[in-house]
Structure 1
Amino acid sequence: MLAGLLALLGIGNDPVHADRLLLVAACDFAVAFVALLPQWARTSPNAPAWLGLPSFLVLGMSTWSFGGSASGTGPFLVLIYAWAGLHFPRWILLSYALPATLAYLVPLVVTQQAPLVLGSAFILMPIAVAVALLIEAQARHLREDRERLARIEQWRSAMMSTLAHDVRTPLATVRMVLEELKTDAPPPVSRMLDAALRQTSRITRLAEGLLDVQRIDSEGQLQLDRREHSAQALVKEALTHVRSSDADVTLEIHDEQTLYVDKQRFEQILINLLTNAARYGAPPIVVTVTRKNGQDRLEVRDHGPGIPTELRERLFGQFAVGSAEGTGLGLWIVRQLAEAHGGRAFAEAREPGVAMVVTFPSLGSKGDHRDP
């Protein structure tokens, strides 16, 4: 396409050969049209390499049209080779050498150019081939790396899915047995059973976190069932899923405050934030819901040692923070669910402690993207 446009522009500089330049432009546009046909997607990956042959022919016609001037032929010849290096294997690049050389030399011979001009082919062609081979090698390495990463991602996804779905059922049985044994166990045995239950809970949290990650990865954009709820009722119901030993929670929510959220996803957000606050912070834990500038703001604050500034910047990343008590997935899941609602998740310093904040567009606000 570019070569055709340049041929049309060349008519202004060389009106004597306007008919030839029009022919070159028409051929360039014809090759470009064929290259854009959708049928190429259904053919062999190497099939478009045939387009190189008419391209070389048009380059030769262009040199002949300009009376043997190869100043425009050389750069476009290298450009064709660069295109071929990005898309085709080495044997095709080497097979281009003969037609490319003929396309360069024949017009020069026909127009009776000096031997010095003819000799330029022995410099240009090796350079064009070398450039193409370098590009081909780099493109091949990138394709191999991409394929390797795709295989790794496929393996990771399969492993996460297997762990998330297959581990939870036997863990539930193990936990039930441990709790039953603990009922009549003497104190020394009870302490050991408590340790086993804590580790079982940790593995369960890991499996649930991996299941959430897998669900987010597979769904891409989560489908939400958003409705308007009483914020106080919504938070109180979510608290029923949190064991009393995990968090001592105080609510600061006005009776008239509402939230326009997916109920299940909101519960997931709040439970993750409460679990994080109970694990790393200190009581009291305060849950606040407010509205400002069209945004509903959920805040879960603890009164622990707080979080360093440099850590707060990456706190909501995947596997950003992990410990013997956590997996580093909970806050990343919170961020994904917040963004699916059109909001955001972040941490704010408090004295003492830290506040985990999640915002949601309120019902009827400009940021409210209603679900169909």
Structure 2
Amino acid sequence: MLALVAIGNDPARASDLLLIAAADVLLAAVGWLLPWRRWPPQRPAVLALPGFAVLGFSTWAFGGVATGTGPFLVLLYTWAALHFSRRVLLGLLVPAATAYVAPLLVTGQPPMVLSSALILLPVALAVALLVEAQARHLRDDRERLARIERWRAAMIGTLAHDIRSPLATVQMTLEELLDGATGHTDRMLNAALRQTSRIDRLATGLLDINRIDTSGHLHLDRRPAPALPAVRAALSYVSSADVRIEIDDHLTLCVDPERFEQIIINLVGNALRYGRPPVVVSVTSADGVDRLEVRDHGPGVPEEVRPRLFTRFGVGDPRGVGLGLWIVRELAQAHGGDASYEPAHPGARMIVTFPALHAVLNPSAATTSARR
């Protein structure tokens, strides 16, 4: 493109500029069409050789004027540095020097012009080596992160599967012991059974989170669920003495009960851990959207932390690993809703939205209502 534009500035060299443009187009077509993936990763470096040849011809065609050659030579070297090893860059030094110096010799340029190669070529090589070092570090970091992610996924899958087998035996034993138990023993066994069920759901949740990472899909078993009993059932797994419920007795949600329970446990546990009592759990419905709100009366969330509040490992500390709110958002979005934060003055207000029951059963009517 630059060669074609230059024809307007120098019509006398139109034929040379057209030849340069044609050579560049041909080189680009070869680079685009050849099946590079079938060959070793260093093979595309050979494209630099005809690239240097085009630069050498340009310098010769313009009578040894190298002002347009130098920047493109540096550009070629930078391209090579982004994709190839240091050995390739050193190997390209000879053809680069030839492409730059040979036309100057052929056109009889004075020593002062020839000496410019002693500055340009080392600078181009130094820039390329710096770029290559940074690109290599980035590739190494990416590969390391990919290995860690593969290990993490395998660990979560293995852990979740290995937990469920012995847990089933424990659960079955507790159920056998529960037959005929009375009084305090009955209460203890029932508490133990609730906790084993909770661990089983956590293992299922781990598998689901792993599934989200690998396939982006989370299977939900959505069905109508009375809001007040669902919240009370979830709170039986946490220390709920400082928790107040504000929910209409007749409100019905359309959620996966186990996932909804996981959302409640994560939000209330987070409020009790980082906030101050009382913790208020409320559910309201309006305009086709159910809104779950968990509020504490603590110091709230610092402003600098809020952007990463619902990210994975975004706000972990010694009291938690930073996954709870991320899981809440993933589960909310799987339902078609979302999770967000609002300051409460004092305290923090965590909000999760779900499509309301009538919106799930009749989405076209809900859309019309929302527009209205």
Aligned residue-pair number: 355
Q: Which residue of structure 2 lines up, in the alignment, with residue 297 of structure 1?
A: 291
Structure 2 counterpart SS, 1:113: coil
Q: Which residue of structure 2 lines up, in the alignment, with residue 123 of structure 1?
A: 119
Q: Which residue of structure 1 lines up, in the alignment, with residue 104 of structure 2?
A: 108
Contact 1:334/1:345 (<8 A) preserved: yes
Q: What is the aligned counterpart of 1:148 among 138, 144, 162? A: 144
Q: In the TM superposition, what is the alpha-carbon distance from 1:233 to its structure 2 partner?
A: 2.9
Structure 1 counterpart SS, 2:147: helix
Q: In the TM superposition, what is the alpha-carbon distance from 1:155 to its structure 2 partner?
A: 0.9
* Distance in 2 separating the partners of 1:113 and 1:327: 68
Q: What is the aligned counterpart of 2:248 among 246, 253, 275? A: 253
Aligned pairs for 1:1-372 within 5 A: 5-37=1-33, 39-174=35-170, 177=173, 207-222=203-218, 233=226, 236=229, 240=233, 243=236, 247=240, 250=245, 252-253=247-248, 255=250, 265-266=259-260, 268-270=262-264, 272-273=266-267, 285-292=280-287, 295-301=289-295, 305-310=297-302, 313=306, 315-319=309-313, 320=315, 328-348=322-342, 355-360=349-354, 363=359, 364-365=366-367
Alpha-carbon displacement from aligned partner over 1:249-295 (angstroms, at most 9, x marks no partner): 7452384x675666664454345445656777757754322215x64
Q: Which residue of structure 1 lines up, in the alignment, with residue 363 of structure 2?
A: none
Alpha-carbon displacement from aligned partner over 1:192-234 (angstroms, at most 9, x marks no partner): 99999899788667645533431221222546677xx65x636
Structure 2 counterpart SS, 1:50: helix
| Cα separation, partners in 2 of 1:274 and 1:122, compared to 1, 3 Å | closer
* Distance in 2 separating the partners of 1:10 and 1:328: 58
Alpha-carbon displacement from aligned partner over 1:304-345 (angstroms, at most 9, x marks no partner): 653533288355343435777x76533321111223445331
* Distance in 1 separating the partners of 2:120 and 2:85: 21
* Distance in 2 separating the partners of 1:361 and 1:38: 51
Contact 2:230/2:257 (<8 A) preserved: no
Structure 2 counterpart SS, 1:167: helix
Which ranges in structure 2 are unaligned for 5 or more consecutive residues? 360-365
TM-score by length of 1: 0.77
Task: Give the superposed CA RMSD.
Answer: 4.2
* Deviation larger for 131-140 or 64-73: 131-140
Contact 2:64/2:104 (<8 A) preserved: yes
* Distance in 2 separating the partners of 1:57 and 1:106: 11
* Distance in 2 separating the partners of 1:115 and 1:366: 80
* Distance in 1 separating the partners of 2:162 and 2:369: 39
* Distance in 2 separating the partners of 1:186 and 1:260: 37
* Distance in 2 separating the partners of 1:354 and 1:122: 65
TM-score by length of 2: 0.77
| Cα separation, partners in 2 of 1:64 and 1:125, compared to 1, 3 Å | same
| Cα separation, partners in 2 of 1:367 and 1:142, compared to 1, 3 Å | farther
* Distance in 2 separating the partners of 1:134 and 1:354: 47
| Cα separation, partners in 2 of 1:91 and 1:251, compared to 1, 3 Å | same
* Distance in 2 separating the partners of 1:24 and 1:343: 57
Q: In the TM superposition, what is the alpha-carbon distance from 1:21 to its structure 2 partner?
A: 0.8
In the alignment, residue 367 of structure 2 is paired with which amino acid?
A: S
* Distance in 1 separating the partners of 2:202 and 2:186: 24
| Cα separation, partners in 2 of 1:331 and 1:175, compared to 1, 3 Å | farther
Percent identity over paired residues = 55
Which ranges in structure 1 are unaligned for 5 or more consecutive residues? none
Q: In the TM superposition, what is the alpha-carbon distance from 1:125 to its structure 2 partner?
A: 1.6
* Distance in 2 separating the partners of 1:254 and 1:192: 30
* Distance in 2 separating the partners of 1:344 and 1:55: 52
Alpha-carbon displacement from aligned partner over 1:114-157 (angstroms, at most 9, x marks no partner): 12111212222222222222222221122112111111111111
